[in-house]
Amino acid sequence: MKTIEDLDVAGKRVFVRADLNVPLSDGRITDDGRIRAVAPTIAKLVRAGAKVVVASHLGRPKGEPDPQFSLAPVAVRLGEVLGTPVAFATDTVGESAKATVAALADGEVTLLENLRFNAGETAKDDAERGAFADRLAELADLYVGDGFGAVHRKHASVYDLPARLPHAVGDLIATEVAVLKRLTEEVERPYAVVLGGSKVSDKVGVIDNLLGKADRILIGGGMAYTFLAALGHEVGISLLQKDQIPVVLEYLERAKENNVEFVLPVDIAISGSFPDTKTHAPVTDFAVVDADGIPADKEGLDIGPKTRELFAAKLADAKTVFWNGPVGVFEHPTFAEGTKAVAQALLDSEAFTVVGGGDSAAAVRILGFDETKFGHISTGGGASLEYLEGKTLPGLAALEG
């Protein structure tokens, strides 16, 4: 793949496909990690005298404008991070976009409105998607792909647009790919993987692939209760995917055959109801029980103290660690201890540590950890997982062409 250094960007309109899909609450950005992650690439282009046209998606609008998914707040924050004003186009390929791009001087930046406000961005139909890519191509001379969180999507700005313009990979994607290669090629062992999040079904592919690569797989979060149920344990009203139990049993058997250690929770923090993650109202019926002793009317919401110690011990001697998914409802302080413990265990180890994007990356920042102390914090959880599954990512394939 070509890099920015392989392009002559001075005086050219450079379309940067970023991933600025940041969480918003009442129009306020609650985690600007993805903005800060792509800023160095944009700043490099600014210094080189490019006219930078940044584009991204945000959320899941239905192919038409929706104010709650506007990138307007992102334009303001991006300008603050860059230390230079960022013009904002109120549409994607319409009159505002054309006028805003036309007004750019060398070294200036504009951000287009949410790409998904146009149905062509995510269309399944190749012609519809291609038509939108044609209109985007009119706004630029060159293309730089740097939205790692979207490279697993066959979308117009990710997959079709690079075929229409001279293109290169941005610094963020180049770093992400280099890190993922360290997790899949010539891995330094022991190699430990921590998987959390809500659903087993979201991690089926990556678990399947890791059974031939990892030395230890630690399971927490909502997905842990399907594993516990597969072992015959009562899980109460905890999140459970019954249809995944046969798959889980198969994985546990294959793990034994491949000498891969599966580490499951031995105790669980429970409550009778899901906590209020906005007001952080106190939990009045908090308790910790053994993993095989969850009452029928209670819900598991975090790993317990014994499991926190167990997980830390299993990570202590690792040389490579990949972590994707919080192991509890970290948004509420009562159930954040497990996720805190995993993050701290990564920091305490001497391993090359990778935090696999999404909620895990947000948790690291929200819980107050210094993100620079980790080996790498990915900007794309879904993309990271699909790469580790061994899938071809459309956005990366397009940049290789």
Where in the sequence numbering do the catalytic residues fall?
Answer: 34, 199, 358, 382
List, as one string, the DSSP characters of 93-128: SSHHHHHHHHTPPTT-EEE-S-GGGSGGGT-SSHHH
DSSP characters over 202-250: GTHHHHHHHTTT-SEEEE-STTHHHHHHHTT---TTS---GGGHHHHHH
- DSSP three-state, residue 40: helix
Distance between CA 194 and CA 206 in Å, rounded? 12
Which of 140, 173, 138 minimizes the C-alpha distance to 50?
140
Which residue in the block uniquely carries the two structure tokens 């941005």?
A: 170
286 contacts 271 by C-beta, under 8 angstroms: yes
Side chain identity, residue 207: I
- Write the Ramachandran bin of 358: left for phi over 0, alpha for psi from -120 to 50, otherwise beta: left
- Two structure tokens written together for 203: 């991690």
Determine the residue type at 43: A
Helix, strand, coil fractions of the chain, as percent rounded to 5: 45, 15, 40
Nearest to 335 by CA among 361, 355, 308: 308
Q: Decide if 364 contacts 374 (C-beta within 8 A).
A: yes
Of 134, 131, 85, 91, the C-alpha closest to 114 is: 91
Beta strand 376-377 pairing with 352-355: parallel
